[in-house]
Structure 1
Amino acid sequence: MSTKKPFRFSLQSFNTDSPKNWRNLIAKTESLGYSTFHLADHFLSSGPALDSTYHPPQMLAAMPTIAMALEQTTTLRVGCRVFCNDYRHPIMLAKEAATLDYLSEGRFEFGIGAGWIKNEYDAVNLEFDEFPERFNRFAETIHAYKAFMTGEPLNIDGETLKWSGFHGTPTPAQQPYPPIMIGGGSKKILTFAGEQADIVSLNFNNRAGMLGPDGMNSGLAAATAKKIDWIRNGAGDRFNNIELEIGAYNTIVTDHPLPTATAIGEALGLSAEDILTHPHCLIGSIDFICEELERRREAYGISYVAVLDDGQNNMVDMFAPVVARLAGK
């Protein structure tokens, strides 16, 4: 098992009911000791295209929201969990990442994945290639991103990226580059993440292109242990330098966890025990959640945990006692 890393916590936000409340959420996230404020990278609002995926709609665009959050704060790290590689040209993504890190004096985190919601691609007539093609484009972006951040003259001659005749500017505050978070759930992505990433975000295997039982099963305890092995195999000697991150997508603070876990499990064809020990779930009292996070860090090495704010669940306050007790320890 890797050397224990101190706990970090992020709040991932999808929606807000007003600019004022959004600014208040950012300020509260910083004041309560969360490490990071994360956006996702989706553009679909509610409607038939997204409804069948069971994914929450995202109100705000990631890049301008990240910029405004960095401007409003002084210590909070801000990033995307995670950018979809196919949604913007990699040269603009690299330059924008360098700019955000430069202007924030080193508080930007760069999360990226290969893309997975086919319905979102289809809704705007964006070609959704088979996974090997999407992965190859994604891998080229990672290598190009690192090259851009060096500030050296660029000479990239890949299958999809061909950059030459210029060098990357501005120079980011974090060297050698703003930390890379690679998110995914397949063996190919996670092995590559072990090779290349600073932070690996453990996710479901979203091969179905939607949230549901297949994804939840791919994130069970035994499957998560296997994912850690894939990361370790890719990382080799650098494994202890990698920060392991996970989204606790079902976070419910309650003194009655069993009925809650039973209801969730019945909807997904899983047992209550599966849900209570599911690495993507945190269901129970504050004491239970803190003890479970420490157990999972011991078992898996996971020290970076994201909880989701949907604009209505007041997660920033609900989870704050956990942050106060464990952050940095």
Structure 2
Amino acid sequence: MAHSLDRMGLYLLHRQKSQQSQFTRYDRSLLEQANWDIVYPTPDVPEVHFEHMHKQMNYEIQRFSFQSPMKFGNEINDRVQGNVYFHSSQSPIHVIVVHGWRMDQWEKINRLFLKPFNKSGFHMWQMMLPFHFDRAYSSYSGEYMISANIERSIFSVRQAVMEIRSLIRWIKQNKGGSVILVGVSLGGLMTNLVATVEEYADAVISIMYANSLSYAVWHTPIGKYIKQDLQNNGVTYDMLKEYWEILEPISQKPKIDRNRILFIAGRYDQYVHFEDALALQQAWNISNFISYRCGHAGIIFHRKKIANDVLSFIHRTLSLSPRSV
């Protein structure tokens, strides 16, 4: 059943694909000698702008935006955007939710977390990843973030990590309290990378996350058209793994306490293979690891369990005192 549900999701996902090759040649020497802190530098605290949207439940919902600390050169993509749900409780707990690859609406995220977070009094921040949602200027959301354009994919991931760090630091400086990162699918990979460089996140929760983009592209159905594009241009798996090594959190150890990290993975996941998720859990020695007997579609069909596990972990972790910039 898990395989069937994932196959159906993959079929629907692949109805949209790049109509032309995204491949470009990549000069690995651009980052070959760079250490991790140079690849993912510490950003300044940004100037964040807010615009009131509407009210829902106990939330005042606003659109926030700020200039990306890492410029690609396109005005649409270089303006970070997202929604923030400010809770009337004036809670000191801020949760940044990072969405998955090719997501183009917030419905799945809201079904997962809106009511549980509202009940708990948490503020919720939803940040658009590079080349997604209103930051996309391609034929579909996310087309330009992960593709056969090896260099742009590297840039996109680095840009996302810096933007999440920027938002963490703005919240710490201007709101105080605890900042929790919750990443779903590709968002989980982003939050895991943030954990390797950012000491001011109070907890990191990764749900159905990947560890290796090169593995996902080459060995799972989700990357089949990207793999095809790369192979058509003479790129092998070993070459791609070497190019994208700097995008793998397993290359480093987390900067935050391992007890503040929760991993949730699906044993039968066809988007993100369980063995890839397990490799990072074992390398980092993460004791807070929950495996569900489901595939990637568990994000939808096990959302109540996911929400309960996430809330339970946040409440346990908050016994540890938060830090501020």
Query: TM bucket by the smaller chain?
Result: 0.3 to 0.5
Question: Structure 2-normalised TM-score?
Answer: 0.36
Larger RCO, structures 1/2 (Cα 8 Å, 6+ apart):
1
